[in-house]
Each structure stands twice: as C-alpha cells, then as structure tokens.
Structure 1
Amino acid sequence: MKLIKNIKLYSPEYLGVRDVFIAGGKICKIGENIKLPSDLGVEIIDGTGLLLLPGFIDSHVHILGGGGEGGFANRTPEAALSDLTKHGVTTVVGCLGTDGVGRSMASLIAKVKSLREQGLSAYAYTGSYQIPVHTLLGNVTEDIMMIDEIIGVGEIAISDHRSSQPTFDEFARVCADARVGGILSGKAGIVNVHLGDGSRYMNLIERVVQETEIPPSQFLPTHVNRNAALFERAIEYAKLGGVIDFTGNEDIDYWETVSDEVRVSKGIKRLLEEGADSDSFTISSDGQGSLPLFDEHGQFLGIGMGQSSSLIKEVRECTERENIPLETAIKAITANPARVLGLQKKGRIAEGFDADLCILRENLQIDTVVAMGRIMVRNGIPIVRGQFE
C-alpha cells in the first residue's frame, strides 16, 4: 500500500493537486488530504512540487532485438527490464520486424512472459514484416483469439523495399482475420503497419478502409513521420478518423541532416493546427529496432537503434519547443495507445485502474516509476532489474 501526497495530477487531464492511494496493484482512491490509519503500514510518498502521470505505453518495441539489415553482426540486443522502466514504460507491446526467421513468434511470446514475470505489463503482435504472416498457431485469428499475450498482428510492412510486397487482397485478408480475432476475443485485433519510404505511402490501408467494411480503427500505421510526403498523407488519414503513430527519435538532430524526417513535436503541432483530434495520434519508440540508413540505390550505409527514452523526450519537446499543453502531449503515450490497443485499465489515473504511474520532476525528468503498484525506479535509478542485468 502506498499513498502519494500533494502531487500535481495529470490523468492525463490536469486534475489539480491530489492524493492517490494505491493497493493491490490498483488505484483505490483519488482525493484531497486522504487520511489513513497509522497502523496500516502504508508507504507515504511526498509528491510536493512533482507531477504524477499515467505509466507510459510503448506500443512498438523490438523486445527480442531487431536489425540484421547489414548482416548478422547488425542484430540489435534484446530489451532488458530497466531499458523500459527507467524511461517510464510500464506497458510494452513487442513485435518482430524485418527478421521473422532468426527471431520467432515462440521466442517473442517467451520474452513477453519473461517481462510479465518481472512486473511489467507486456503484450505482442503476431507476425513480422511478411505476408503470409508467420503465426504461432497457424493463422492470425487463432493467435489473437487463443493466446492471451497477442493483441493484434504486425508490424506488417508496406511501401518498403524490405516488405514482402503484398497485394491488396493479401493485405485485406490479414486485416479481416485480425478484426475477427479481436471480435471473438474481446481484444483490439489491431493491425500494426510499418510504413516505408516508398511512393505508395498508405495506399493499401486507405484502400481497405474505402473498399471494405473494415474501419480505420483497425489500424495503427507507424513511422508516419519518416518523411515529409508520407506525413502529408498521414495528416489527411488522421483528419478522416484514423489514428497515426509517430516514431520517436533520440537522434533527430542528426537524421534531419540526412533525410526529411519530421520531428515529432513539429508533426503533432501541425496535426493539431490542421484540425485533427488530440485522440488521433500516438508516439512509440521502435525501441531496440534498427534504424538503418540506405542510399538512393537501396544499399546499406549504416545503422542506429531505437530507444524507449524517446517517449518522454518527445513529450518534453512538444511542451518546450511547440508550447503544446502537457495534458495533450502525454495522451500520445498514455490514454491514446491504451484506447487503440484495447487496454481497458491502462493509460489513465482513475480509481479501479492499474497502478501504473510515473512521477516526474517539474523539468519532466523521471523521478519514480510504479508498475502494477510496485516501485521499479526511484530517484531516476532502477531499483528492480531483470534476472541477468
């Protein structure tokens, strides 16, 4: 049991200075000047001068590692527990990318189970870049319906030279199977779509929405800010009711010099100015995923790696560089992904919700992270680490 006192509470909406009592991994009570019997053994956390936010949801992380585009030596490492928690992440969704051979669905689910055992809320998408989808049980619908950890399919790659170049019918069938799996299991059945630099942009997604009965809510297209032309299409998609996912980038100052990648804070500001709803975007990190650089002929030049640290960094830039209200910016890593992914007790600070919390200093640096009621990070330092860290 823990009682957080006198803290500025963002639910993500700002609710003023409040006390928050948590017990049994849940948020039990929110109020002013909450009094509890002294003999209960409740840990008191003084929140004076601090901010309380929902725990962050990173909806796109290569928890098994990614990469390999430059050969076996370019495979990136797995995510350790503290690689996530020290950056405020209390819920993570794991995925496979280009390499659906060297890394399998069985290994991905085992990693998800490992993170769960260590105190994190963890989920997965079935499949990788490729269609036909390499599933665990034989098909997308069955994986989503019968495997608790799987909440959708992805990251299916389109408009990318590394994709399997799916036809419209192939892509639409995967989307339909994901939708049915979600309906039958009470999950989102989300289709997480990797968008490449190709000139077809979001064509396949747009065609499915226009030519079938599958709604925009079935999709979470990611990397929408990877180039300016793609982002223009993404803006129109969001204005029509779709949700788009920005990919955070710790090294954006460099990437802006070699590409026309759209800085997340500028993109969100533009999206809001265009009249899109504040519920229409999320931010994910592509953590542990490779950030390969290719020349105009598709030849590999070099590689970097995504990091979950980009989530709070992008929120900070939204508020400091673009004057976006904090409660709007943090929706992108809390309430919005929780809604899109169908995580009903995540993404908000409300009574009855999971006790996933981030305490930030006024400069938006992470101080304390609580996952399912357990303190994972204190004073910015992880106090709970994975088995082999």
Structure 2
Amino acid sequence: MLDQLIENATVVDGTGAPAYAADVGIRDGRIAALVRRAPGAPADRAPDRAPDRAPGDAPRDRARTYVDGTGLVLAPGFVDPHTHYDAQLFWDPYATPSMQHGVTTVAGGNCGFTLAPLHPERPGDADYTRRMMARVEGMSLVALEEGAPWSWHSFGDYLDALEGRTAVNAGFMVGHCALRRYVMGPDAIGGRPGADQLDAMLRLFHEAMEAGAWGLSTTQSGTHADGDGQPVASRHAGPEELLALSRAVGEHQGTQIEAIVAGCLDRFSDDEIDLLVRMSAAAGRPLNWNVLTIDAAVPERVPRQLAPSERARQAGGRVVALTMPILTPMNMSLGTFCALNLIPGWGDVLGLPVPERIARLRDADVRAQLLRRAGSEEAGVFRRLAHFDRYVIGDTYAPANEGLTGRVVRDIAAERGMEPFACLVDICANDDLRTVLWPMPSDNDPASWELRRETWQHEDVLLGGSDAGAHLDRMCGAPYTTRFLGDCLRRRKLVGLEQAVRMLTDDPARLLGLRERGRIAEGWHADLVLFDPERIDAGSAVLVHDLPGDSPRLDSRAEGVVGVWVNGVRTVREDALTGAVPGTVLRSGRDTETVGTR
C-alpha cells in the first residue's frame, strides 16, 4: 500500500522535459509509482473518495491518504545551494522561511564559516565563533547563545547533534576559519601555519570529511571581519595552504569547494582568477562562488566574472558562479553595522559612538567626503548604495519623523529644500540613527533583466546565493524560489516553467552530487512541492521577533504553496508547518556522489 497518492497533478519533473499529468505515489520516503494520465482523462477528486478505494487509472496499490493535484503543479523540492542555517536549525528545524517556499534541501557551512570543529580545551573558542558569526553573517548574538547547545567538538559531533531533528535535508561544508582556529588558536589571525600545524589542519579536515562534510569552504574577502573587527582566520591563508586543502578535498567522494574572494562582489583580479582555477584543478572537483551581480550599467562585469570558468575548463577544473534570479532588497541603518560600513572610509565614521557619529554625519565636509568615496571606483559594487535620493524610509521612531515611512528620500528632500543625503542624515538623527532605510535597486531595468536571462544560460552559472539564515534583520533571500516562479509564470516570463523548475531543482542537485534527489522519478527520494501556478509567489518581507531572546528577523510568507514533502512526509500544508521533522543530515559519499569537472 502507498503511504500517499498525489492525483492528477501537472508534473514538472526537474529535467526540463515538458510537463504532463500524472498520479504520483509515495512509499517509505520514495516515489514508488509514477503513472501518466492520458490527455483529457477525467480526474477522480480525492476528497470524494473513501480512503480504501483505489483510484481509477492510478497504481493498483491503494493509498492511506490522497491529495488532489488537479490544477496544481508538482515539482521536485527546491535545493538552495548557499545558506547559513548552521545555527538556526537548532531552534528552527523547519529552516523557515525557506521550507514554506518549497525548499527541501539546504547547503550550509558556506563562506568559510562553520560552528565546528571547536577545540575541547579552549571553551572560549565557542564565544569567539558566536561573536564572529554575529558580525560577519549578521546573526543575533543572543539567539546564537541561547538557541544552540554548543555541545560538540569535532565536525562529526556537530552533524550528530543535528541528526534526526530537522524538517529539511541539510548538508554542510567545513569552514576554513574553524579549522585554522582549532589548530592555531588565536594565531589563526595574522599567522601562517608551520609544517606541523598544516599537517594537523589536514588531519582535522580529513576527519571532518570522513564524518560527512561536503567539502571545503573558505573566504579571502576583504569584507569579512570577526567579532573583534579583525580579518577572519582564512583571510590570512596563503595559496600553499589553500591548495593543500583543495587536494585533500579530492581524496574524498562526493565533495567540492566553495570559495569567496574579494572580487566576488565586483570584478576578479588576475591573481584571484588564478587561485580559483588552481584550487578546483587541484581538487578535481567543482568550485562555486557567490554571488554574480548582473547589471547592464556595468556590462564588462559578467564576462570578467566568468573568466575563471573559461580558464578552469582548460586546466581540468570547473568554477561555477551563483547568481540570484530576483532582486533581494537589503535594508540599511546608520546606527548598526550594515553594507554601508563596507564602503571605503565609511566604517571609520559609522563605527563611532552614536552621539559622535551623528555630529560627524551632520558635518557638510564629512558628508561630501563620504559621498565622494561612495561614488568612486574604490567602492566597487557598493557604488550602487550611493544613490541616497532613491532610498525609501522604513520604520521610524521619533515624532519628528511621523508619516515618513514608505516615502522616498528625494521627495522629502525636495519638500525641505535639502540635498538628499543631508535630508537622510537629518531623518536618521531624529531617530538616534535607528531609522530603517531601504535602497531602491538601480538594476531593475529591462536591459539588466535581459542580461540576466542571457547569463542564466551559461553552463557555469547556477541560481542561488540566498544567504538564508544570515543577515536576518537586513535581508530575506529565502523566498527567491517562489518569487522567481511567479515571475516566470505571470510577469517577465524570461524562462518557461519547465526550465525554471530545473534551475531550482536538478541543476543544483547535480552540482552538489545529491544522490536521487532533484527530480521526480520512480525510486528517487520523495522531496516534493505542490503549488498553484496561478498564485505561486512570495509576500513582502516583514520584521518579526521570533528568534531566541526575542531577536528580530525578516520573514516572508509563501503564496500558492499547497504542500511540501521531505522524504515522503508532508512538512507544509497551505503555508502552515505540520510539525513533522523528516529531514536528514546529508553526508558526503553516502548521500552525495562525486561530480567531475567535465
């Protein structure tokens, strides 16, 4: 007998093949039956059927439960290749809001940052890690302290602590920063390992891989600083160390590399291109990086960022760029650390105590200097943040700012006869810099969307980069799956439904080497999402206080998602969580297969 039967759904199987009507039966966590319906065949509606009655032309097995898929699309569960759910899964096994938006598998441990391993004789390393994650990935420090047990030492201990308690499937890279900290202690900041230390790091890395780590993640990005404001540990690694770890990746099955360098946000240097290519070739494994920003105003960026992919193919490697198929808004604040701090020269001002910060920002000469640097070449991709006239005012707090929420700064500045940045500073100063600011995207033009459509067709470009689980009160990238589908079905329609589903399912599953996931096929794991094509979308991001310690984060409701199944168990019903936790910790080799570079 089938555990469940989804009848008369329009199946989009993830391969890119044309959709078809079918009944899909689930048994023991897998797709046990897949029976196509003849075109025009009548659909028996499940709610009218007795539980023990076999459906007309469906499998002979009878099912314990039925779901009517008439008018709905059944797709494989979506795979998010770049998240930071490493900590959140302990207090939120449902990986919200990703799972409500159809995501059934998440890849964590990215950007060189993981919660393990932790040295058993240095309990302070856990506090260092929490403060680093709070700074570099925008996680709530209180939530990190109160929401996770911090009971592990080895990477295997960490995976074991999650086993059996998640609703999604989750796999994790092992972070270079944690490896360095474990072996080198405080010397990981600023130091290079000696021969014995490098050997110890490699042994520790092999242990993590044998326990199921998916591979190596590392960062060389100048934007990544720890809780003390110092460059994170992996930024101090030289090419020899990175290549030694890359070769170690190649000694394990079902593994790969994720790497961030300074040029990821704008344009790679020649040395960075060489490093990415050498790392992938040394491992004989794919290397992915995050995130490819596509803007028609900077047409030279895309070919430059895809240069490592071209070079890697010649050198025996493969370098894959992750890019987002939607514009993910990120809010700013002059009162707390945000992307504005990363503009050269801005961190010196925005890092001052609030009263002194306000005084400096009110100084016309200081503002002129900040604007000059924000609009210069040295600001790189952050130049897009310098259009302060396009900012929308979010939450405000002072009576003087009443009625400004939702208004554009240029309109307020025109009414007051002020320069836009000076007007923005005045508004924020009224709120003691707590004002929430929403920059309007500068790359929402038809030419940029056409360039995105063209770039998505490249064999080494993959959709992803949500950062779900990180920057919690600043951005909400998790809903990219449903928003992209809504765009494909009812708005820009840059790609067809079958291709869009493949880009969210089979493409990332194949890059990550997931065994029997990412497609609807008999015998494959029953990770599924059932949605209404007329309604599929994501709601606006709203600030909620539901983290441990009442800490805030941005959330977004899914629209049109009728059901989500993970390993054959329904986890979402009409955007509501069922409470089931059928996910599994996916371990390299057992749950992933080796993906070649060709």
TM-score range, shorter chain: 0.7 to 0.9
Whole-angstrom distance in 2 between the partners of 1:112 and 1:250: 36
- Quote the sequence identity (%): 20
Which among 455, 468, 475 is matched to residue 287 of structure 1? 468
Indicate whether 1:378 and 2:567 are aligned.
Answer: no
8 A contact 1:160–1:198 mirrored in 2: no
**Equivalent-residue separation in structure 1 for 2:166 and 2:531 (angstroms):** 23
1:64-84 Cα deviation digits (max 9, x unpaired): 459xxxxxxxxxx96541503
Matches within 5 A, 1:178-197: 178-181=246-249, 183-193=250-260
Cα shift readout 1:18-73 (whole Å, capped 9, x = no counterpart): 221121111122222453446x443221111000111011122221459xxxxxxx
Say whether the 8 Å CA contact 1:225–1:262 is kept in structure 2.
Answer: no
Q: What is the aligned partner in structure 1 of residue 562 from structure 2?
A: 367
| Residue identity opposite 1:373 in structure 2 | G
What secondary structure, in the 3-state scheme, does the structure 2 residue paired with 1:331 have? helix
Structure 1 letter corresponding to 2:129? G
In the alignment, what sits opposite 1:18? 22
CA shift in 2, pair 1:6/1:41, >3 Å: closer
For 1:306 and 1:211, the matched residues in 2 are separated by 34
Query: Equivalent residue of 1:337, what SS?
Result: helix
Q: For 1:10-49, list aligned pairs within 5 A.
A: 10-12=12-14, 13=16, 14-33=18-37, 34-37=57-60, 40-49=62-71
Paired residues for 1:1-389 under 5 Å? 1-12=3-14, 13=16, 14-33=18-37, 34-37=57-60, 40-64=62-86, 79-81=92-94, 83=96, 84-95=98-109, 101-103=128-130, 106=153, 110=158, 113-114=161-162, 116-127=164-175, 132=180, 138-139=201-202, 141-148=205-212, 150-158=213-221, 160=223, 162=225, 164=232, 170-171=238-239, 173-181=241-249, 183-193=250-260, 201=268, 203=270, 205-208=272-275, 210=277, 213-214=281-282, 218-225=286-293, 228=298, 230-237=301-308, 242-247=319-324, 251-252=328-329, 257=390, 258=439, 269-273=450-454, 276-277=457-458, 280-290=461-471, 304-319=474-489, 320-363=491-534, 364=536, 365-384=560-579
User: Which structure shows the bigger proportion of residues in strand conformation?
Assistant: 1
- Indicate how the Cα distance of structure 1 residues 157 and 327 shifts in structure 2: closer, same or farther if over 3 A, else same: farther
Q: Name the CA distance, whole Å, in 2 between partners of 1:244 and 1:360.
A: 28
What amino acid is the match of 2:73?
A: L
Letter in 1 for 2:563: T
Take 1:266 and 1:281, find their aligned partners in 2: how far apart are those partners? Answer: 20
Give the 3-state SS of the residue equivalent to 2:20 in structure 1. strand
Q: Which of 1 and 2 has greater Rg?
A: 2
Go from structure 1 to structure 2 and tell me whether the alpha carbon gap of 1:113 and 1:3 turns closer, same or farther (over 3 Å shift): farther
User: 231-240 vs 303-312, which deviates more?
Assistant: 231-240
Task: With the length of structure 1 as denominator, give the TM-score of the two structures.
Answer: 0.76
Which SS does the other structure have where 1:20 is aligned?
A: strand
Deviations along 1:311-341, one digit per CA (max 9) or x if unpaired, are: 3213433442243112222333211111111
Paired residue type of 2:8: N
> Does the C-alpha gap of structure 1 residues 275 and 97 become closer, same or farther in structure 2, counting only changes over 3 Å?
closer
Gaps of 5+ in 2: 38-56, 115-127, 131-149, 184-199, 226-230, 314-318, 333-383, 385-389, 391-438, 537-559, 582-598
Deviation at 1:118, TM superposition (A): 3.1
- Asked whether the equivalents of residues 238 and 280 of structure 1 are also in contact (C-alpha less than 8 Å), the reply is no
For residues 361-382 of structure 1, the C-alpha deviation after alignment (integer angstroms, 9 at most, x for no partner) is 0132311000000000112211
Aligned-partner Cα distance in 1 for 2:201–2:245: 12
Unaligned runs of 5+ in 1: 67-76, 292-302
Cα 1:89–1:368 change in 2 (3 A) is same
Deviation at 1:187, TM superposition (A): 1.1
Say what the alpha-carbon RMSD is for the aligned residues.
4.1
Distance 1:134 1:266 in 2: 48
Task: Name the CA shift for 1:384/1:246 in 2 (closer, same or farther; >3 Å).
Answer: same
CA offsets 1:267-306 (integer angstroms, 9 cap, x no match): 6752553694366312231012117xxxxxxxxxxx6033
DSSP-derived class of the 1:7 partner: strand
Give the number of the structure whose residues are more often helix, by fraction.
2
C-alpha distance in 2 between matches for 1:362 and 1:197? 34
Instruction: Report the TM-score when normalising by structure 2.
Output: 0.52
Matched to 2:320, the amino acid is V
